[in-house]
Amino acid sequence: MIKSIKLLVPSLFAIFTIFLTCPDICCAAAINCTSAAIGSLLPLWTALPFVGILLSIALMPLFAPHFWSSHFSKISAFWALVFVVPFLYFFREVALHEIAHIIIIDFIPFILLLGALFTVAGGIYVKGSLKGTPAVNSVILLIGTIFASVVGTTGASMLLIRPILRSNNWRVYKVHTVVFFIFLVGNIGGSLTPLGDPPLFLGFLHGVPFFWTMHLLPAMAFASIVLLIIYFVLDSYYFTKENKIAVTDREPEPFKIEGSCNFIFLAGIVGAVLFSGNVKLGEVNLFGIHQTIENLIKDAILILMGILSLVLTRPEVRKGNEFSWAPIKEVSCLFAGIFVTIIPALAILKAGEQGALAFLIKSVNTPAHYFWASGSLSSFLDNAPTYLTFFNSALGKFYPGMPEADAVARLIVEKIPYLVAISAGAVFMGANSYIGNAPNFMVKSIAEEAGVVMPSFFGYLFKYSIPVLVVLFLVMTFVFF
C-alpha cells in the first residue's frame, strides 16, 4: 500500500501541475491576480485533491482499515500537499493569502471550538443504570435534539454520546442508535439558534437577528418527530431480538452527574461565542489576515475553559467516560486536509456566475432549489461557507448593489422562505454523510472506540442516509419549500 502511494504521488502532482499550467491560469498568475478574482479563474478540476481526500475517507477505512488507522494523518497531509505545492508555485502571494486566510479565519477557530467542547463535555460523567430500551433511547435522543440548539451540536453530541453508548453496551444491535444520534443531536437539533450550528452563527454575524432562526422551528419539529418515530419503531424491532438476560444481570447504579463544574465551563464557551458576535472591538493584522479582536478574545476564553476543565476535573471522571484524545486528533488531522483542499471549491462557488459552477448558481431560483443546493453541497463540503455562499447569492439575486446591512434587513422580512430554505438545507443535510458536519465524525470515532462497528462511508449513505434522510427531505420539500 505504501509503495502504491509513493508511486501515485509524482503522477498526481504531474496531473495537477499540467492543468494549473493551462494558458488562462498562467496568465492570471503572471498579472498577479487578486483573491477576489481567483474563483473565476480556477477550473473545476482544481478541486480534485479535495475529491481525493473525500474518497480516501470514504474508501480506505473499508478496504485498508489497518493502514488507514495508522496513517490517516499522512494521507490527509498528502492530499493537502498535492494541492498546496503547485498552488503556491503558480499563484505565489495570492495562494499564500488564501491558505493563511482559511487557516486563521476558519480552521483554527473551528478546531478550538470543537476542542473546547470536546474537553469540557468529556469531563461530565452521567452515571446511572439506564437501560437501553427503545423508550429510554428515544428520550435521550429527544433531550439531545433540544439541547443542541443551546450548546451546539458538538457540545450536545460530546455530552450525550457516551451515556447512550453505556446504556446500550449490553445490546448487540446498536449501530442504528448511533446513526440516529448523528441525524438528530449532531445536526437537525442545532437549527434553532446561531449557537446550534456554525452556518447559523455566520448568518448572525452578517446581520440575521439571534432569534430569527426560530423560523426553522416548524421544519425542525417535523423532521425531528418523524425521525424519532422511525427510530422508536426500528429500535423496538431490534429490541425484540436482544438477549434480555444481559441487562437484568447488571447491578442497579444510582443516577448521578459527576464533573458538574464543567457546566460552568460550558456556559463560558457559550458566553464567549455570544460575546464575539455582539461586541465590536476592531481588528488586528495576523500575517496579512485581518482578524477581529473579539474573536481572538473568544478563542482565548475557549482555550482557558478547556485548560480549567482539564485541571479541575478529577481523573476518575474522565476515566469513567473512557475519555481519550484519539477522536479529536483524527478530526483535527482530517479537517486540516479538508480545509486546505477545499479552497478551490469554495473560491469557485463564491465566484458565482463567473466561476466554473455558474450553471449551478444560475439554476437556483426557488426556495426548494436553495434547500437542495445548499443541502447537497453541505452534505460533502463544509456547511458554514456553503451557507454563506448561498446567503450572498440570495442577497445578490434579490437586492443587487444594495449595502449588505440594508439587504439583510429586507431579506429577513421579505424573503423568509428563501433564507429558511438555505438555513435548513445547510444544517439538516449535514447529516447526509460523515463529513457533512464535524460532530458526525467525532461521534463515529467515539462509537468505534467503544466497540461499535459503524458502517463505512458508503454504508452510511446507502443503508441509512438515502433511504431515511433523503426521502424525508423530499417530503419536506413539498410541505415547507
Task: Report, in angstroms and rounded to the nearest whole number, the Rg of the chain calculated over CA atoms.
Answer: 23
**Inter-axis angle of helices 108-121 and 134-167, nearest 10:** 100
| pTM of the model as a whole | 0.74
The pLDDT assigned to 227 comes to 96
Q: Can you give the residue ranges of every domain in the chain?
A: 2-31+39-95, 123-259+313-322+364-480
Q: Each residue's pLDDT tens digit in the chain (481 positions)?
A: 444 445 445 545 555 555 445 544 444 443 455 555 677 778 888 888 888 887 887 678 767 878 887 888 888 899 998 888 888 887 778 888 888 888 887 788 878 887 888 888 788 887 766 777 888 899 999 999 998 887 778 778 877 888 888 888 888 888 999 999 999 998 999 898 887 887 887 787 677 887 889 999 999 999 999 999 999 999 998 888 877 655 555 555 667 788 888 889 988 988 888 888 778 888 888 777 778 888 899 899 999 999 999 999 988 888 877 777 877 888 788 888 888 888 887 777 666 677 777 777 778 888 999 999 889 888 876 677 678 778 777 776 777 666 767 878 888 888 889 999 999 999 999 888 887 777 888 788 888 888 888 888 888 888 999 999 999 999 999 999 8
